[in-house]
Amino acid sequence: MVTIKDVARLANVSTATVSYALNNPSKISKETRERVLKVVKETNYEVNRIAKSLKIKETNTIGIITEDITVFSTPEIIDGIDAYAEENDYHIILENVRLYKKIGNNYQDTSKVAGIISELVGILLSRQVEGIIYVGAHCRDVSGIIGRLPIPIVYVYCYTNEESSFSVNYDDELAAYELTNYLLNMGHKELGMITGLTDSMQSQMRLEGCKRAFSEHKVAFNSKYIRAGNWEREGGYQAAKELLSLSQAPTAIFAFNDLMAGGVIDAANEMGLNIPGDISLTGFDNRECSYSYTPQLTTMSLPLSEMGRRSAELLLGLIKKEEEIKDKNQNLKLKCDLVERESTLSLA
């Protein structure tokens, strides 16, 4: 039986290029596609692939369920999944739940979410996908949303507490620890923090990372410099107004996401304060707005595409029953990267 690797070798291209030639020809040149299709025809590759899938019930297809494709993190995650799938001769079927538009912010109502998801899982199973990747709208525990399945599942940008569950996320605590270290090393001991919603796991883990950095620097952690935001620009603005009005205002503010950092810029401008001359500022997420702000924002970049790739790698390993996958850490946490721009100034 001819494989995609055989076609790639005979056409002198990569396996990804063979996949493009068959499924997404706009990504390669006309000449390259013609060369690949010539080999495909000569080797009967497509006929062999269909016959093989019917015989052994392998479809080389995985399903993706995304809670909300409009969330900033989701497109890059899906792109990473798609890239890894193409490289390994797999295809994807994407189902977008549009969860926010259906139930708003009430993600914790597991019964409502489970009912919506169950129908999509059934659709994917009817299409004979070999595994599923579930992409959360934000990082949280989604235990109970999906019951036991006859095929493997991997969670990304979310997780479950179920035994033998596989998930891929980024390390919130480590990222906040490193960003706080960065500010402390610049001499900012009076550090303001604008958290997200107080019941958010992301807020809690980032706050833990901040506290660890303060402890290791042997600097007192002052809770008077903490304000709760709401992940939105308006929440950052209100929190910043309070912090910057203190009799001893902080020398720097760590906003727990880039949107709230935009609110800090609004407040500083309104109060006649210069960033970073009067107040240093950092965000978190490295969203597009972070480099369109004035000044451009120092922030933490999330490994979204790599999270997608690693989730696909895990899923394909589970599908193929690779023993080394089972021995790996079942709940991966990838490292974020500091992106230093123009919004911070050293006091050291």
List, for residues 130-186, the tens digit of each pLDDT value: 999 999 988 888 888 888 888 999 999 999 988 778 999 999 999 999 999 999 999
pLDDT of residue 328: 60
Banded model confidence at residue 114, pLDDT cuts 50, 70, 90: confident
CA torsion sign for 109, 202, 332, 135 is positive
Report d(CA 95, CA 120) in Å as an integer: 7
Residue 152 falls inside a structural domain: no
Going from the C-alpha of 212 to that of each of 96, 136, 193, 243, 335, the distances in angstroms are 38, 28, 14, 22, 17
Residue 315 falls inside a structural domain: no
Residue 219 falls inside a structural domain: yes
Banded model confidence at residue 304, pLDDT cuts 50, 70, 90: very high
Provide the terminal-to-terminal Cα distance of the chain, rounded to the nearest Å. 66
Q: Which of 170, 178, 184, 181 is nearest to 302 (CA)?
A: 170
Number of domains composing the chain: 2
C-alpha torsion angle, residues 170, 173, 179, 183 (rounded to 10)? 180
Asked whether the predicted pLDDT for residue 112 surpasses 80, the reply is no
Query: 41 lies in which domain range?
Result: 1-58
Domain boundary among 21, 42, 58: 58
| CATH number of residue 297's parent domain | 3.40.50.2300
Report d(CA 32, CA 343) in Å as an integer: 46
Q: Could you give the percent of the chain with pLDDT greater than 90? A: 61
pLDDT of residue 327: 55
Q: Residue type at 129?
A: V
229-282 pLDDT per residue, tens: 999 999 999 999 999 999 999 999 999 999 999 999 999 999 999 999 999 999
Residue 151 falls inside a structural domain: no
Residue 71 falls inside a structural domain: no
Instruction: Provide the mean pLDDT of the chain.
Output: 89
Report d(CA 97, CA 76) in Å as an integer: 17
Question: How large is the average pLDDT for residues 333-339?
Answer: 97
Banded model confidence at residue 41, pLDDT cuts 50, 70, 90: confident
Q: Are 125 and 95 in contact (CB under 8 A)?
A: no
- Residue by residue, what is the 3-state secondary structure of the chain? CCCHHHHHHHHCCCHHHHHHHHHCHHHCCHHHHHHHHHHHHHHCHHHHHHHHHHHHCCCCEEEEEECCCCCCCHHHHHHHHHHHHHHCCCEEEEEECCHHHHHCCCCCCHHHHHHHHHHHHHHHHHCCCCCEEEECCCCCECCCCCCCCCCCEEEECCECCCCCCEEEEECHHHHHHHHHHHHHHCCCCCEEEEECCCCCHHHHHHHHHHHHHHHHCCCCCCHHHEEECCCCHHHHHHHHHHHHCCCCCCCEEEECCHHHHHHHHHHHHHCCCCCCCCCEEECCECCHHHHCCCCCCEEEECCHHHHHHHHHHHHHHHHCCCHHHHHCCCEEEECCEEECCCCCCCCC
Report d(CA 132, CA 62) in Å as an integer: 6
* Longest Cα separation, the chain: 79
For residue 13, what are its two tokens?
């291209």
Q: Are 281 and 264 in contact (CB under 8 A)?
A: yes
Residue 18 falls inside a structural domain: yes
Residue 13 falls inside a structural domain: yes
| CATH number of residue 24's parent domain | 1.10.260.40
Residue 230 falls inside a structural domain: yes
Which residue(s) pair with 22 in the sheet?
none
